[in-house]
Amino acid sequence: MNVWGITDRGVIREQNQDAFAHRVLEDGRVLAVVCDGMGGARAGNVASTMAVERFLESFLHPEDAAEDRERLEQAAVQANRAVYHRASTDADCTGMGTTLVAVLAGEWEAAVLNEGDSRAYHIARGQIRRITRDHSLVEDLVQRGELTREQARVHPHRNLITRALGSEPELRADYFRQPLEPGDVLLLCSDGLSNMLTDQELLEVIAQGGGLESCGRQLLERALERGAPDNVTAVLIQR
Ligand code: MN
């Protein structure tokens, strides 16, 4: 199992408030997490960095021997507590929060957890499918039939998320399971990528192969070519 990731501040922003990490576990499984922070000058970066660190630390050193789902959820709960606590005690960090999408990929299945609008995709046999559902205003409008996917991607309020890690004392993230077969690819990304490329364009880049690093660099390159107004992050995992 391979994993490769990249993050970039994009063309316009002066700071990168996205953060990511990945680890290959002792049993060969891959753990990866992407966070997209928000909340003013430096706070967005504090939120995403803190969430990634707390999530990893808590997952790698669980308080009790939990099952995969519980372990992912506990790690997200710990990350939420840390960010929420900082947001409510440090005046410079008031109102900060972050998205979080995480995957634990094993030989036959991936467990996925998300909060906010950073996404997980599954790419297999020439098809791409979104695993996660965005917690965002435009996603709600799409679900209600009031916007098309294309309209949502360029909507002026596409950045408004309805749930964020660190914004409330308790967290209830969504959980998904994705069966995996040899050759399947998983993509985790922030909205800085998914707002620049359509799902079909993501697929085109990934389906041409050439290795995860080459695909990841091309995804970033395409987003930058289009002006990347937001930070761009992509993590690719191949079974
Ligand atoms: Mn973003």
Ligand 1 centroid to residue 142 C-alpha, Å: 19
Q: How far, in Å, are 13, 72, 138, 141, 152 from residue 146 at the CA level?
A: 31, 34, 9, 5, 10
Q: What is the pLDDT of residue 40?
A: 74
pLDDT bracket for residue 209 (50, 70, 90): confident
Distance (Å, rounded) from C-alpha 72 to C-alpha 15? 29
> What pLDDT score does 144 carry?
95
Q: Summarize the confidence of residues 120-147 as an average pLDDT.
A: 96
* pLDDT tens-digit readout, 45-81: 999 999 999 999 999 998 887 899 999 999 999 999 9
> How confident is the model over 86-96, as a mean pLDDT?
93
| C-alpha torsion sign, points 143, 148, 150, 154 | negative
Please choose, from the candidates 116, 120, 131, the residue with its C-alpha nearest in 3D space to the C-alpha of residue 79: 116
Residue 38 alpha carbon to ligand 1 centre in Å: 8
pLDDT bin (cut points 50, 70, 90) of residue 168 is very high
Could you give the CA distance from residue 70 to residue 226 in angstroms, rounded to a whole number?
40
pLDDT given at position 122: 98
Closest CA to 195 of 151, 146, 163: 151
Q: What residues have a C-beta under 5 A from ligand 1, the ion?
A: 36, 190-192, 230
Mean pLDDT of 125-136: 96
| Alpha carbon of 181 to ligand 1 centroid (Å) | 30
Residue 15's pLDDT is: 92
Residue 124, pLDDT score: 96
Report how far ligand 1's centroid is from the alpha carbon of 183 (Å). 29
Give distance in angstroms: CA of 65 to centre of ligand 1: 34
Q: Binning pLDDT at 50, 70 and 90, where does residue 4 land?
A: very high
For residues 139 and 117, the answer to whether their CB atoms sit within 8 Å is yes
- Residue 42 has a pLDDT of 78
pLDDT computed for residue 39 by the predictor: 86
Provide the pairing of β-strand 18-24 with 185-189: unpaired
> Rounded to the nearest whole angstrom, what is the distance from the C-alpha of residue 193 to the centroid of ligand 1?
8
Spatial contact of 164 and 115, defined as CB atoms under 8 Å apart: yes
Whole-angstrom distance, CA of residue 95 vs CA of residue 150: 30
For residue 140, name the pLDDT band (cuts at 50, 70, 90). Answer: very high
Closest CA to 109 of 184, 35, 55: 184
Q: For residues 40 and 105, which has the higher predicted lDDT (pLDDT)?
A: 105
Percentage above 90 pLDDT, the chain: 91
CA of 192 to the centre of ligand 1 (A): 5
Per-residue confidence (pLDDT) for residue 63, from 0 to 100: 83
